[in-house]
Structure 1
């Protein structure tokens, strides 16, 4: 008992808490229970975390100080939000709407700046520089409510892309004003200052956009360990943030740019993306939100009318001008009311950049009173009013984004209903024969379906009579367990299938028929040569299966590829599976952020162009004339290191079949070994058996029937021997 009392007395329970174990435990319990409690009363979880920060902070119960550790985790959380915004954004939509982003960014910056300056100058009575600096704070916004949009799965919508892009514009312009005013108060603003800032910013952007991708691509090619990849991603994010600060701009700009660069390397349906989302939403972002709450001083409400007047003007002008900017943008760009709501909700929240601007203004001393007290550019009333603005604006923004996200998610679900109906019959099967290719094949199978699609993916492993010594049920189980585990790591369900059959080709063929598979992925081993290129098993499958088949040989991770080079034979557009494979490749290119180059004759290119124009998926594509398949080696000079070659083939007897395709094993093995490539066999209708025209008949089907007839005959002979009466 005495020992226990001594141990307890050694622990410090004085407020604020100092024991790091107790502090971290308290924060974790807040992260766990605050969202649960506030969700029950229909309050967004973000508000719950901010209010929890108010309660436990120095202006509340004083349980925790906003010390260096809270600032550190809070800074990481803010950078993480901006990084996720760049990582999850739809780059195709971002490029497509870049002019609209510029329009919104300028509107949501200029309106608050103009009206904020007028209100500060004439209503609050501040000087011109102080009014301009305060108004620049109104122009900025922080994507505090972004995790709500991400939770509802609408982070790639047009409204979110506009707001995220606008955030960069407003923050950059506001921080330029901050730098200018700070320099003017110190009489340091010269032409050289602006030239230096401009040059350093250009160097930063060029470094991140052109040097970072080289480093990232090299790393992902050489390191496949999941932990190493995650640490590397974080390192690149904070390196970019540091370079931004070194260039004289805000660190959040660097975090956002790093997200844009990593966007192509981290697919939305990947295990790495799942880990990034999980760690950010579980630890770093909640720390930031709690830290924001700890800044709020409720006592300013009773410190006199000065603080209340300033707070009232700041909150009214900030929210009114942001709402006006969102409304004008909605009408000008012909957006839906829900999209206008989303833009207002995301742009209404003020936190990071706002606080940075006000703190700089508060710390600028422009003179002294007769009593020797410093005269600040922005006084304590502005500081306290800004703290209240953070609480109110984050609350309003979170409520609005929650409602808008629900509406947009419902609209997207209804809009995608028709597409899902069309894809309802799609089923993807991945044949898993090589243990060292499981992750590449499963990853490829996942990419064949659109994001948030319910298309099932089957992982098949065959145990055949030919390899019973080296291939057991235990080995098959390990292969399928690895496939299922890899799929689960990216929140994708892989349905495992084990089949015992006389041969691998028979097992695959009959599984396809039993489960009505629409797309079949078969891996080609990296060591395959022209003699073992497809092999008899794959050729039997191609002959006997008429669904879409992808024979995939990976030379490097799929997320490190930059462009698809697609060779399309003449009359490919006349095949039944033309639209299906084109849709699949477009979806894959869009989700991976890859450019697409089509090589075909003029007629086929015209049809492809027409299909792409009518498609809702926006991709960067180019067309090139190519019709002489005897000159296939031309692709040797067309391909670059990080390209993937996709050859649209055909089965014998169909319109787009090219006799020259029989030379593909030789060409691909000897000249394209260092490239990733896919040989794609489109869905085609089965040819009927016509004994009068045997040359036009699918010989594989006849061979299959002959084999079955022969098997039946052998079985009959065996039964006769077994049941024949013995002679006495």
Structure 2
């Protein structure tokens, strides 16, 4: 046992927290349990009912947990897709109202049945009314995000979370002491004015600051953090809980950040440090004897869980009737709205810690424990049901048609409209991979009657006559001369370029913009470790900042020798269709064969598998290229393992780059990552602009 004098040390407490965050979630994820569950259990083990190494009342834990709590709500606001909300605003508000009001009523009934006061009962109802899009990565991976039922559910999040936090603010105000119609009107009026100031003021200030600061990501990052804490402090000043301000700040800077690298860094810091600290603190608050007592008299917990699941089901069913969705869409909406994590847990902790002058908590320990059980049940149940039913949602050809293919490889429409020549920018640095890169770019450019721009980036120095700069420029000129020689073998126009820049990634993106390039072809970067996770690799930065598609290649042999190309297809989105177009163009150059591999769940009906294959057959048939393209469907539980096994017979695998992230800001492992690590053949990883 560590002496009390040591456990009181902030440094030791912080070290223990870091150790837990670093080690526990991966262990639980290997057991196929959410990492958040591991953090909660770690809090219980390390708290006053266990090893007593951490104290929820210590200043260190309080600070980190408070930051984690507001960060969680901030990220929840950041990750609401406003673009999707605008597309289906009316239906999103309609379903949002249903999936807010029905659980709200159910929660109030549960509270009254178990003899809670009206204020506490309404608060319990609001805890059930919100939802967390924990299963968003699943629908994104399945490629059904553009299905209207999914879009409506995503858009409804903004309504449910905002409504739940407003109810929380009112309930906390009522519980705090004397309350009247005048004080309620004052609170609501102040909240309305404050919301307008934050939503519009921060949005305007953010856009102005980002416009003026250009590429200064460090200052932009600090601006976003300042906006978060200013909004949280402002909420407290007007008498509203700080998580309300944090959520509004997330909504306010949502458009400002878009999909920029700064957003990635903001979410990364939260997901690896502050948000996990909040979940550990939740575990510290769990009193084991009280928790066991709650579960032994299981009726309250059971009532809350059943009320949530049943009311969300009823809300989704009503939406099905009103908007004429089919059964699979209705069940997908239900499962997406089930998980109760971000807003629910943050609001529960706030309510539990709210004590009136008489010393009474707003909600009891039994409700706190029941909500934690609810979180565990829905966090597991929701994604499982989503994976089961969302896989049956297939986009119709009409849906695909409305999502127009604007990428360069959709050459059938581009040939008429495109005025500038097809241009491929090829950043070169490594002489060992330079030849294959130039060959790949030349093959594509020659097919499209375009040109290539070999690009050498030279690191800037303060003085332009610095000897190191002169040497670097001479080396880059030699690389460009070699690139010119290789290009001449393919009889393609070459325009070599040297750029002096402080940032290699931005140098590549800026040059490609200046050259109005159609594609960037890059070599593989082996940048790994903490620095790459914090600041991103050059590839990450180019993906974020480029205006055109990026093809990152790991070529083990000359592209001219490629005869068999494998393209895994899991959805019907334009990104996947773009990857197929890329493979077809490369195959047309080499008279190669393209195989589209669809790995489907064993439970999916054969009719749906056949329908998916027929849709791809129609898409392939629209191509003007006379390329042998076959579609192969394989049933399997481990998608990555099937792709790796099938790829052994191919020269090249074409993958697309997609980032998945949950509403808590916690990264989700990708099939692509495992495939890239284990493939033994050449790879092309395609990224859309801002991907």
TM tier, smaller: 0.5 to 0.7
1:259 aligns with 2:250: yes
Which residue, out of 158, 161, 179, partners 1:165? 158
Question: Does the Cα contact within 8 Å between 1:49 and 1:293 map onto a contact in 2?
Answer: yes
Please state whether the residue corresponding to 1:284 is helix, strand or coil: helix
Matches within 5 A, 1:460-539: 460-461=455-456, 474-475=472-473, 498-500=479-481
Cα root mean square deviation, aligned = 5.2
Spell out, residue by residue over 1:44-78, the C-alpha distance to the aligned partner (whole angstroms, 9 max, x if none).
Answer: 11212222222222233322101232222122222
Matches within 5 A, 1:299-698: 299-301=289-291, 303=293, 308-329=298-319, 332-333=322-323, 334=325, 335=329, 337-346=331-340, 350-360=344-354, 363=356, 365=358, 376=360, 383-403=364-384, 429-430=424-425, 460-461=455-456, 474-475=472-473, 498-500=479-481
Which residue, out of 115, 121, 131, partners 1:125? 115
| Structure with bigger gyration radius | 1
1:236 aligns with 2:227: yes
Spell out, residue by residue over 1:258-279, the C-alpha distance to the aligned partner (whole angstroms, 9 max, x if none).
Answer: 22332333242x3323322321
Which residue in the other structure is 2:85 paired with?
A: 94
1:178 aligns with 2:171: yes
Tell me the distance in 2 between the aligned counterparts of 1:478 and 1:153: 43
Tell me the distance in 1 between the aligned counterparts of 2:124 and 2:59: 27
Change (3 A) 1:119 1:256: closer
1:79 aligns with 2:70: yes
Tell me the distance in 1 between the aligned counterparts of 2:29 and 2:481: 50
Change (3 A) 1:41 1:149: same
Aligned length: 464
Tell me the distance in 1 between the aligned counterparts of 2:26 and 2:423: 38
Question: Does the Cα contact within 8 Å between 1:70 and 1:287 map onto a contact in 2?
Answer: yes
Change (3 A) 1:28 1:330: farther
Change (3 A) 1:403 1:310: closer
Please state whether the residue corresponding to 1:429 is helix, strand or coil: strand
Please state whether the residue corresponding to 1:387 is helix, strand or coil: helix
Which residue in the other structure is 1:115 paired with?
A: 106
Please state whether the residue corresponding to 2:257 is helix, strand or coil: coil
Matches within 5 A, 1:31-50: 31-50=21-40
- Relative to structure 2, which stretch is displaced further, 395-404 or 66-75? 395-404
Offset of residue 254 of structure 1: 2.4
Which residue in the other structure is 1:567 paired with?
A: none
Question: Does the Cα contact within 8 Å between 1:59 and 1:298 map onto a contact in 2?
Answer: yes
Offset of residue 306 of structure 1: 9.2
Which residue in the other structure is 1:272 paired with?
A: 262
Change (3 A) 1:150 1:358: farther
Question: Does the Cα contact within 8 Å between 2:48 and 2:284 map onto a contact in 1?
Answer: yes
Change (3 A) 1:44 1:423: farther
Spell out, residue by residue over 1:242-300, the C-alpha distance to the aligned partner (whole angstroms, 9 max, x if none).
Answer: 223333433233223322332333242x3323322321211111111111222222312
Offset of residue 510 of structure 1: 6.3
Change (3 A) 1:150 1:262: farther
Which residue in the other structure is 1:636 paired with?
A: none
Change (3 A) 1:133 1:59: same
Tell me the distance in 2 between the aligned counterparts of 1:199 and 1:181: 15
Tell me the distance in 2 between the aligned counterparts of 1:252 and 1:392: 22
Which residue in the other structure is 1:249 paired with?
A: 240
Please state whether the residue corresponding to 2:481 is helix, strand or coil: strand
Tell me the distance in 2 between the aligned counterparts of 1:77 and 1:477: 48
Change (3 A) 1:128 1:425: closer
Change (3 A) 1:414 1:298: farther
Change (3 A) 1:225 1:388: same
Tell me the distance in 2 between the aligned counterparts of 1:514 and 1:128: 77
Which residue in the other structure is 1:211 paired with?
A: 201
Question: Does the Cα contact within 8 Å between 1:432 and 1:460 map onto a contact in 2?
Answer: yes
1:55 aligns with 2:45: yes
1:199 aligns with 2:199: no
Tell me the distance in 1 between the aligned counterparts of 2:490 and 2:73: 45
Change (3 A) 1:146 1:462: closer
Offset of residue 348 of structure 1: 9.6
Tell me the distance in 2 between the aligned counterparts of 1:199 and 1:460: 58
Which residue in the other structure is 1:597 paired with?
A: none
Offset of residue 327 of structure 1: 4.6
Spell out, residue by residue over 1:523-564, the C-alpha distance to the aligned partner (whole angstroms, 9 max, x if none).
Answer: 999xxxxxxxxxxxx9xx99xxxx9699xxxxxxxxxxxxxx
Question: Does the Cα contact within 8 Å between 1:140 and 1:171 map onto a contact in 2?
Answer: yes
Which residue in the other structure is 2:14 paired with?
A: 24
Q: TM-score, normalised by structure 2?
A: 0.55
Tell me the distance in 2 between the aligned counterparts of 1:549 and 1:424: 9
Change (3 A) 1:146 1:166: farther
Spell out, residue by residue over 1:68-93, the C-alpha distance to the aligned partner (whole angstroms, 9 max, x if none).
Answer: 32222122222222222332333221
Offset of residue 352 of structure 1: 1.5
Change (3 A) 1:117 1:216: closer
Change (3 A) 1:349 1:76: closer
Change (3 A) 1:319 1:461: same
- Contiguous gaps of at least 5 residues in structure 1: 1-10, 366-373, 434-456, 464-468, 480-496, 526-537, 551-586, 590-614, 618-728
Question: Does the Cα contact within 8 Å between 2:291 and 2:369 map onto a contact in 1?
Answer: no
